[in-house]
Structure 1
Amino acid sequence: MAADGDERTSVRTYVPMYQKERWQSHADELDMSQSEFVRTMVQAGRSGFEPPEAEPADDSASAESPRPRSPDADPGGNGLEDRVVEVLDGGDHYDWEALLAALTDDIEQRLDEVLQELQSDGRVRYSGRHGGYVLDE
């Protein structure tokens, strides 16, 4: 039995076909279902989200349209700016390294895991001669 707050429900949205295909491709690369991918990306992008002030005059979606155009990836402006303010809002002092660590969370660990997975799948390789990673065609 699901604990309170753990019940699941569906959410529907409409996006252009090219966007759905990109999301599916990226989800496949990450070995995720499309639902899991969208859920993860929404949660990752929620920090600092604010709705746009006004729609551009040339917006192709009308008010009556049942399928509005997808907003830009950063609809409220600079999400990083909002994150910096959020981190500093606690009143603590952060030096450069501490602030960078607070903003990037576990990106190094996640990058390491993804690179290991891509290398084990034969999609990426490390070239010591060239000192970096490259797609393995």
Structure 2
Amino acid sequence: MSDSADTDRTTVKTYVPTYQKSEWQSHADELGMSQAEFVRTMVQAGRKGFDSGREEPDSPGGDPGGNGLETRVLRLLRSDTLSWDELLEAVSEDVESRLDETLEELQTNNRIRYSGRHGGYTAVDGGGDGD
């Protein structure tokens, strides 16, 4: 491929529910990203789970290779010098709150329940991903 083929851009169009677009915009704002950059980053991050043996080329902009954690770590370190433990705590907080929100949503939708008898969460819908 020529160098110009690596940097040419094209439009990708998709349709999502209004609430989802609003959630994406809010999350993009929290990360200091445009909505386009946020969606591109999330798609690239999702692709890595499906094609782990393939390396992504560096993407232009603030998120090389589409690595959201990389972007968050760089943002944290640009504002302060942090130890390993401080970095871990800063990036873990987001995971904890996302897990809490996800568990609440799954319980609201009766996809999981908390079982005191078994000491944890269990799938109500047979344990599959439901998709």
- Which bin holds the TM-score, normalised by the shorter protein? 0.3 to 0.5
Query: Given the two structures, how large is their TM-score scaled by the length of structure 1?
Result: 0.44
Higher relative contact order (CA 8 A, sep 6+): 1
